[in-house]
Amino acid sequence: MATDKLTELLARATNGDPEAAAAFLRARAVRVRAAERVTSSARAAALRMIRADG
């Protein structure tokens, strides 16, 4: 989801739209999970590189 959409959802949510608030939270949760997967993947790759050097 584009940042423009997230900004629009957040604006609607702050104006009291409960559906927009729920959609914003779902979209934010998806982004957080994606970031966690990338971090976890990068950490695993770094550990493999360290082991390969040793």
For 10-33, the pLDDT digits (tens) are 999 999 999 999 999 999 999 999
Domain boundaries, the chain: 3-53
Instruction: Read off the pTM.
Output: 0.65
> Is 23 in contact with 5 (CB distance < 8 Å)?
no
The dihedral sign for the CA sequence 32, 18, 13, 6:
positive
> Is 21 in contact with 13 (CB distance < 8 Å)?
yes
Q: What are the tokens at 53? A: 């050097």
pLDDT at 2: 61
